Structure 1
Amino acid sequence: MSKLVPQLVPKFAPKFAPKFAIFLAAGLLLGGAGQVASAQDILRLSTTTSTENSGLLKALLPAFEARTHIKVHVISVGTGKALELAKNGDVDVTLVHARAAEDKFMAEGHGVNRRDVMYNDFIIVGPVEDPAGVSGSRDVIVALRKIVAAKVKFISRGDHSGTDQMEQSYWKEAGVKPAAGAYVSAGLGMGEVLTMAAQMQGYTLTDRATYGAYRAKTGLAVQVEGDAKMFNPYGIIAVNPAKYKDINIRGANSLIEWMTSAEGQKKINEFKVDGQQLFFSSYKK
């Protein structure tokens, strides 16, 4: 446009110059608005390692992006860090699994439009030989006490993730914990911890989805499952736009609506690894 302005303004000046200047200014404003709209097509999502490592997001997000023309940038960390990123306004929406932490996040005014999305479950996995003798147990607390008594290694996330928070609540209820030499606090994601458990021939608490993605490469076996205490629900929350003006609330709400829509819920149920369904929808639509 810079080449056109010198040619056009003199031709219409002086009568039309003011009007043309107004037209030009309006055009520049519209161009700026177009750039803002383009920026709004990017949605920042913080989420847990389980949704990324399992391959779930790779199965879900392309359909959402095709329907809405919104590109989702995923930051995969533990639930604690995912909520912290949302609290600081570094993302627009968060998908996590730690209901107590989610409720606190909402009560403090950091989030809006929280909804249940899906659920899976936690399991305890360990060596096929099962040195602690917990195989087949449906009581996670009894199993953990046996692991302590057997003095075998237990590998913990140790990263304040939803899985780590759940594990710590189990130890508190059990009233015991492995000795320092047997308890390894890794400070890592679930995939890395499963790899460590395989290498160290120890046990760990994991979500079933990530275990499914790592089962073949680790050789670990499911030893404890089915306890109601191991139910693992996921929630999705938009960051409160009243706290941060640059939050893409339109995109966040679009993702929330899609994830809880009939289409989104169907795709969650259809996602499988080695023929096994790993996540189950929370909505019946």
Structure 2
Amino acid sequence: MVIGRHFEPLQTIGRNAMLKRLVQTMLLLAGALFLSQAAAQDYPAKPIRLIVPNTPGGAMDIAARLTGPKMTESLGQPIVVEYRVGAGGVVGANHAAQAAPDGYTLIMVFDSFTTNPYLFKDVKYDPVKDFAPISLVVKGTQVLVAHPGLGVRNLGQFIELAKGKGNGLNFATAGPGTSSRFSMELFRMTTGIDPTTVHYKGGGALINALVGGEVPVSIVTMGVVYQHIKGGRLLPLAVTSASKSALLPEVPTVGESYPGFEAQSWLGLLAPAATPHPVVDMLYRAMSKALAAAEVRQKFQ
């Protein structure tokens, strides 16, 4: 038996241990906040890399090159576009997910970024856990377009032709897992047509094929084909949004003939997870200012 030694009650020991852990946690949080604020004060101190995981010439590339210079004006450091193309954007997203979360590596993504993990085997990222969202860049109406050589002038004529040709009609997309592919599948199921799908490696290659008459029809983002429509190189048959487009007010919606149909694409800007919140906020403000610029808004419209 030990005599004369003081023993603290178990309740006191428990409270002291809990208090110690609480103080340690508060110190860690305070340290993290200090480091985060310090990082934001010095940010950006060098050029910022913007990964574009799709081919040049498509909607994503156009959006990156429109907003990048405006963000540069706000941040005081250049936004450098870097192409990392492959597997419907998976290659670029995998790379961005593993980059240092310091605000110097960003990525622009399509809506397909969220569905790729269910479609491709080599996806190494979790779209929720591995990225910090910065901003929605654009939400765009898509349009069903045909080459003039197809010989149709409206949606009704196209559906009649497509049902007559069956899989003898080619329908192009920007690649497996892209919004143009998903919109095409929704359109196919809604209308009952059964064309043969032809995949291209990105929006740029798809547009070149359409304009050149290599393929007769596709559903694509409005901004990418608008000038070709105005130039008569492609014919708009219908828009996929719930309401008509202000750019093409004379063109009907698919939903007018097939109630309930709606399909739109979007682009977003992300950073690797754990990027300091003040840095994310700074990037959000820079992107918001870029999107509010009159010349950028005009070109997006």
TM range, smaller chain: 0.5 to 0.7
Give yes or no for contact 1:157–1:164 (8 Å, CA) kept in 2: yes
2:146 is aligned with what amino acid? G
Matches within 5 A, 1:74-223: 74-76=81-83, 77=85, 79-89=89-99, 92-98=105-111, 101=114, 108-131=128-151, 133=152, 135-137=153-155, 147-150=162-165, 151-174=168-191, 176-179=193-196, 183-186=197-200, 188-197=201-210, 198-200=212-214, 202-212=216-226, 214=228, 219-223=233-237
CA distance in 2, matches of 1:212, 1:264: 19
1:50 is aligned with what amino acid? A
CA distance in 2, matches of 1:227, 1:143: 18
Give yes or no for contact 1:156–1:204 (8 Å, CA) kept in 2: yes
**Normalising by structure 2, what TM-score?**
0.58
State the match for 1:264 in structure 2.
Answer: 291
CA distance in 2, matches of 1:167, 1:157: 11
State the match for 2:271 in structure 1.
Answer: 238
Q: What is the CA RMSD across the aligned residues, in angstroms?
A: 4.0
1:51 is aligned with what amino acid? M
Deviation at 1:176, TM superposition (A): 4.9
Segments of 5+ residues of structure 2 without an aligned counterpart are 1-38, 118-124, 243-261
CA distance in 2, matches of 1:107, 1:250: 21
Does the residue aligned with 2:114 lie in a helix, a strand or coil?
helix
Flag as ranges the 4+ runs of structure 1 deviating above 6 A.
36-39, 102-106, 247-250
**Normalising by structure 1, what TM-score?**
0.60
Give yes or no for contact 1:122–1:230 (8 Å, CA) kept in 2: yes
1:87 is aligned with what amino acid? A
The sequence identity of aligned pairs, in percent, is 11
Segments of 5+ residues of structure 1 without an aligned counterpart are 1-32, 242-246, 273-277, 280-285
Equivalent residues, number: 223
Q: Do residues 50 (structure 1) and 72 (structure 2) align? A: no
